[in-house]
Structure formats: C-alpha cells, structure tokens
Structure 1
Amino acid sequence: MIIQQIEIASCAVPLNKPFKTALRTVTVAESIIVKVTCDNGVVGWGEAPPTHVITGDSLASIAFTINNILKPALLGMSLLYREDIFEVITNSVLGNTSAKAAIDMAIYDCLAQYANMSLVQFLGGTTKQMETDFTVSVNSSEEMAGDAKSYVAAGFSILKVKVGKDKIETDIERITAIRDQVGADVTIRLDANQGWQPKEAVRAIKQLQASGMNIEFIEQPVKAHDLQGLKYVTELTEIPIMADESVFTARDARGILEIGAADMLNIKLMKAGGIHEAIKIAKLAAIYDVPCMVGSMIESKIGITAAAHFAASQPNVKYYDFDAPLMLSGDLIEGGISYEASKINLEEGKGLGIRQLNETYVVEKLA
C-alpha cells in the first residue's frame, strides 16, 4: 500500500441559487479534487474548496500546498503506517487546513478500501441514515420566507437560517417571517457567522425566545477569536450556542470546553484538516458531554461523503449540515452518498464509494 501517485484538478459547478452569508456570496462551487493512487491499484478521492474568509485557503494556495509540499513528502510512504502519514500531513506546513483535509480523506478512502470496508465501518461506526438541514441564505425577509416555504415543501423539516449580515432588528424580522411561513413544527436553527456583538446577541436571543420563535440552537454569534464574548452569550441565554469558526483543532476545542464558552461544537473537515483531527475533536467533546454537529463548506459530494462517513462513525455527533451538494446544478461524481429529500444514505461499498469523476466540471488538471 505505497502511495504511488497524487494528482489534482480544479473543478467548478454552478449553484442553483447564490449562497449568501454574513461573510460571503458564492455562485459557483469551486474546488481542488485530489486523486491518490497506490501501488496495488487502490484509488482514493479528496476535495478542498477555497473558503478564504474562514480557512484562509484559495484555489491557488490549495494547489500549491498539495503539489509542492504534501505530495513530495507523501510519495513512497506506506499507508500501513498511517500514523506516520498523518503526522507528515499535520507537520509539513502550518495552516492550509483545506489542502490537508483533501489529502487526509483520500488516504482514509484508500485505507478503508484496503480493509474491504466502507469508511464508516473502518472508522468503527455503522451505516445509518442521517437527516440534513437546508440552509436559507441571507436575503430580504420576503425572499427568505419564500425560500423556507419551498424547502419545507421539498421535504426538509430542519432549516438553517443565515443571519448576521445586517442590523440585528432586520435579522429578527427575517426569522419572524420564516416562522410565520413554515409554522411551528419545522425546526429552525440560526447561523450568525460571527456577525453579532456579544451584548446585542444576548438582547436578540432573549427577544427571540420571548416571542416564541422556538430556535433549536445558534451558531457562532460572535467573532471567532472572542471566546470571552462567546462565553458571555452562552451564559446569559437559554438557547444553546454552538461554536463553529472558533473551532479548527482539538486544541481550540479544549480551550472552549475548559471555560464553558459554548454548549455545542461544529466540526468541519476543512477547518480540522481532515478526519484524523476531527476524530480528536469529537472524542474530546464527548468527554465534556458536549454534542457536536458536522458541517461543511460549499462542497461537492466528495467532501460531503467523507464528512458523512465520519459523522456516522461518532456517537457524539448529533446534528448534520450536509445540504451543499443539493445546492449545485450538477453532480461532480458518480457514487458517494445519496439523498432522499432530507435523508442521507451511505453506500455499503468500499471506502467512500466514489466510482468516477464527472469530467464536465473539470476546469483544469493541475498535476
């Protein structure tokens, strides 16, 4: 099981509708796709989308890191000594978590195939059906309420509503309009993407609770670095608070858990640098009895399939945010996870179950 070849390509799939948050607007899902080939013919797949406002990674930096740093360090290494491989991935370059994640998931894909297991089985979990939310992008109250109604009609009972881009009073108007449109039975969770200040966040959250909006939890209400502000909001409000952009590594998670800065953690492979570090975060959170969600960036089914297999393997992961492939106008791959409206199914085959890349969306082969 020697790593014989690492190839990358730049891919792009248009979105059906622009994806808008407090941090950015996305119209095309761009990513670097990684293909790792071993000497026994096993092929593993990985993906790294550029999310510069969160991870700091661009298409160019991802491609450079893989081709010029990770690839030379990993070629010729044996996957049977996987801890050595993950140590090389972690220590060969600072940051660059998306590039690391793409290589990491491709390695795990190869390992699971070699073991003749699906990745979730290889990670010690069982194949199960998961339910994803669907994200309502930041727009006018009327448009967001209309979008929410259409997603519920399409079979989604959990909505993740983006806020934090404008005045907090405008956010409350948006949430109220959505709740009025979808009724009381639909689960609503909020994601402020660091867009609120601690004191105004507390005021808004208390107002939402008093008005009966029935919010399940709120992601990252304050700036990622402001752990004291995050702790302030968590302690002074009753709706659970989830840390997202504040959590990249297990060390970050420990800092949050030790001071009780959040009630929940959002683990993303692109922040953690892959499954290897993500497992550490999930296990650490379990020690503190803090539940986790596994989320994603705007990714294709390659990255989401890897995230879903990881999520299904961890008992402490209770929530799933895997709607990104449903936002795309086409499918980048054949195989991987499948959807039945909001329900996600994992394939029973080997590894990630990815059979081939759809060349229609390949912009350029870079190696």
Structure 2
Amino acid sequence: MAYRTRMTITAVTAAIVSADLHTPFVTAVRSTSTVDTVVVTVTDEAGNTGRGEGPQTWRITGESLASVTACVEGPLRQVLVGRDPDDLNAILDEVDTAVVGNNVAKAAVDVALHDLAAQRLGVPLARLLGGASLSVATDVTLAAGDVPQLVAAAEKRVAEGFSTLKVKLGTDPAGDLERLAAVREAVGTGIGIRVDANQGWSAKQAVRIIRGMEDEGLGIELVEQPTPARDLAGLAFVTSRVDTTIMADEAVATLSDLHRMIQLGAADAVNVKLTKCGGLRSGRVMLETARQAGIGTMVGSMMEGRLGVAAVASLAAACGTTAIADLDAAWWLAGSDPALSYQDGSVRLPDCPGLSAITFGGDAGPG
C-alpha cells in the first residue's frame, strides 16, 4: 500500500489589496467606497496554494490592514511554516492560541488552509465542507439613505432578480419607519424585507420603531442588531417586547458570546461571520451550537471581496441556515468575475478546486 509523502507548508504571505465599489456602501456605522483587505496565501512544497481574506474592520472588530498583516506574518506564520497542512485541526488549535483576539487574521489563515486542502484534493471548498450545491440564496443590501434613494434602489434590486432586501437603517431613527414603509409600498408584499440598524437605536427607540413596523403590517422578516453591541441587556429588552425576530450580529463574535446571548435570551437568531469568529471551523461550531439551542441562524460577510464571500457561501452550502444568507458584499464590487457571480438572487460558486478560479475584486488578478 502506497502512502502519501509528507508535504509541508513552506510559505505564508500577506498582501494588502483594495478594490472600488460601484456604489458607496453606507450604514449607521460607516460609509465606504472601497473594499480594503489582506489576502493571505499559504503555499506547500509542491507549489499548491490556498488563499483567505482578512478585511479591515475598524468599527466592528478593531482590526486594521496593518494589524492583520503583522499577525499573519508574525505569530501565525510561525505556527504554519514546516507543518503538514493535512494536520488541519491541530494547526488550527495552535492558531487559536498563538495570539489573543485577532480573529480577522485567524479567519484569513483558516480559510487559506481549508482552500489549500480543497485544492490538494481537487474539489470545491463547499464540497470539502460537506455541501452539494454551488448556489446559495442571498439578500441584497439597500444602503442607508433618504426615501427616494431607498425606493429607487429597492425597485432596481427587485428588477435585477433579488427577492430579499436588507434595508440599512439607524442613521436617523426619527425617520426610519417612514423609510421602511416607503420601501414596502414600492416593492409590494411578495418581496422579503429585513432590517439592519447596525447598533443605531437605543433599546427604547428600537421597541418603538419595531412595534410601529408591526402595527403598520410591514411584514418585516427580522431586525438585525438594533442596539449597541455591548448592551446585551438592551438587546434582551427589545427581544422580549416585540414579536419580530431579533438577530444579533455585532453583539456575538465568538462562541463564548453566543453562549452568553443564549443564556440571557438576548436575541432570537444570530448572524455568523467568519471574520468575527475566526474562520470556517469556528463558524461551523457556532451554527451547530445555535441550532441545538433553538436559535435561528444566518451567515453573513463583512464588506469584503470575492474570496471572503466565497468562503462564507461555501459554509452556507455545507451547513445551511434558517434565514437566507447575507452574502452580497462582492456584488458591490466594481467590475466582474464570472467565477463568482450573482444570478436570480443567488451567489454562484465556481466548480473548481478550492477557490482557485476566484479573483479578489474588480478585474484584478488572483489574490
């Protein structure tokens, strides 16, 4: 019986990449016209490479391009070089303990290692994770704006084939109900609408606005992170006083955060993002933990490029969620890449080894 020759990791690199958006992305937390990220590449002795992405997320995780690069090129590279990439779980155990926090950097390395494994086996990342489909339904975000802007964007997105809209509110609580009602009137009752306040409301404002949505029969699927991330008591206050599903996002980054949210009954559902939790392995555990606790699930992306979106979509294809995924980040990129496309309200993954066919963003080359 022939055994595979041990193949070790020989290089770990981090490259800062930026890509333009076709439209400014505006929320209650920030406004941006670019995606700025670190593309991490892990290479083995045979020249096989795996890539992951670590976007700059100052306002969510506190991590920057500089911090992600330093973490990857410092303690995480020390863990990886010389190791057999097939020893994936042991390596990821060491990645977890190599540095405190820095989950964006850890997620980029985690995805790169999974991508390398998929490429060495010659299968798509989604199939390595246990999924069969290469198409995942997604919502599309309506950036925060005034009534005419939101209505125009909503009508255009529906015409483009999206059937679930995620409306960004929270920049002007006094006018948020009016904005939402206008969007519902514009698209009719057959389109799913969810709300993301991005921490923009106080607990009392959230209750008032959400009850107003309910009283007006706007048919809102869920409200994501209505209150400040650190105020779990405030989130629980809202959840206990409205009928609409309340979803935690910024309030739940890690598995320990999820356990605390469940113990407090702070939310009905959770949005799992690889850049918050540290990667695919942690994301899978969080989804399963939420399911066992009877908590609703969704997977989402930060404002990141196609590599990051493809990784999250692969997890969704393998694990499934109770709510349609939030994977439109790469849709906002200027330019196009046929390897990762949006069609009929779904993101389509390439049938290729790992993420090998995917470019970062725009018309840039791989990585």
For residue 348 of structure 1, report the CA deviation from its aligned partner. 2.8
Q: Percent identity?
A: 37
Measured in 2, the distance between the counterparts of 1:176 and 1:317 equals 25
Measured after TM superposition, the shift of residue 296 of structure 1 is 0.6
Deviations 1:265-323 (A, max 9, x none): 10001101111111110110110122211101111110000110011111345321111
CA distance in 1, matches of 2:54, 2:294: 30
Q: Does the CA-based 8 Å contact 2:58-2:64 persist in structure 1?
A: yes
Cα distance in 1 for partners of 2:315, 2:322 equals 9
Structure 2 unaligned regions, length at least 5 = 1-6
Residue 88 of structure 1 aligns with which residue?
Answer: 94
Equivalent pair of 2:134/2:350 in contact (CA under 8 Å): no
Superimposed CA distance per residue, residues 108-163 of structure 1 (whole angstroms, 9 cap, x where no aligned partner) = 01112223322222212222522111101111111111111111111111100001
Aligned: 1:112 with 2:118: yes
What is the aligned partner in structure 2 of residue 347 from structure 1?
350
The equivalent residue for 1:55 is 61
Q: Is the 8 A contact 2:301 2:327 kept in 1?
A: yes
Indicate whether 1:210 and 2:215 are aligned. yes
The alignment yields a C-alpha RMSD, in angstroms, of: 1.8
Kept in 1: contact 2:305–2:360 (CA 8 A) = no
Q: Secondary structure at the match of 1:112?
A: helix
Verify the 8 A CA contact 1:234 1:263 in the aligned structure 2: yes
Offset at 1:357? 5.9
Local SS of the residue matching 2:22:
strand
Q: Any idea what SS the aligned residue of 2:270 has?
A: strand
DSSP-derived class of the 1:318 partner: coil
CA displacement, residues 1-25 of structure 1 (integer Å, 9 cap, x when unaligned)? 3111112211111111110000000
Q: Distance in 1 between matches of 2:207 and 2:47?
A: 55
Mapped contact 2:333–2:361 kept (Cα < 8 A):
no
Match of 1:172 among 174, 177, 185: 177
What amino acid maps onto 2:286 in structure 1? Answer: I
> CA distance change for structure 1 residues 48 and 152 in 2, over 3 Å: closer, same or farther?
same
Contact 1:112 1:351 in 2 (8 A): yes
Matches within 5 A, 1:137-216: 137-166=143-172, 168-216=173-221
Tell me how far apart the structure 2 counterparts of residues 334 and 125 of structure 1 sit (CA, whole Å).
Answer: 21
TM-score (norm 2): 0.93
Q: Distance in 1 between matches of 2:44 and 2:247?
A: 39
Question: What is the aligned partner in structure 2 of residue 279 from structure 1?
Answer: 284
> CA offsets per residue over residues 23-46 of structure 1, 9 Å max, x none?
000111111111111112221111
**Contact 2:80–2:91 (8 Å) recurs in 1:** yes
TM-score of the superposed pair, with normalisation by structure 1: 0.93
**Would you say 1:136 and 2:142 are equivalent positions?**
yes
For the residues of structure 1 that align with 2:166 and 2:307, how far apart are their CA atoms?
Answer: 22
Report the equivalent of 2:245: 240
316-325 or 129-138, which moves further after superposition? 316-325
8 Å CA contact 2:306–2:359 kept in 1: the answer is no
Q: Tell me how many residue pairs correspond in the alignment.
A: 360
- Contact 2:42/2:113 (CA < 8 Å) preserved in 1? yes
AA aligned to 2:327 is F
Report SS of the residue matched to 2:221: strand
Q: Counterpart amino acid of 2:190?
A: D
1:46–1:104 contact (8 Å) kept in structure 2: yes
Within 5 Å, give how 1:329-348 maps onto structure 2: 329-331=334-336, 335=339, 337-348=340-351
| Residue aligning to 1:97 | 103
Unaligned runs of 5+ in 1: none
Letter aligned with residue 277 of structure 2: A
Q: Are residues 357 and 322 of structure 1, via their aligned partners in 2, closer, same or farther at CA, if it must alter by over 3 Å?
A: closer
TM-fit CA distance, 1:361: 4.4
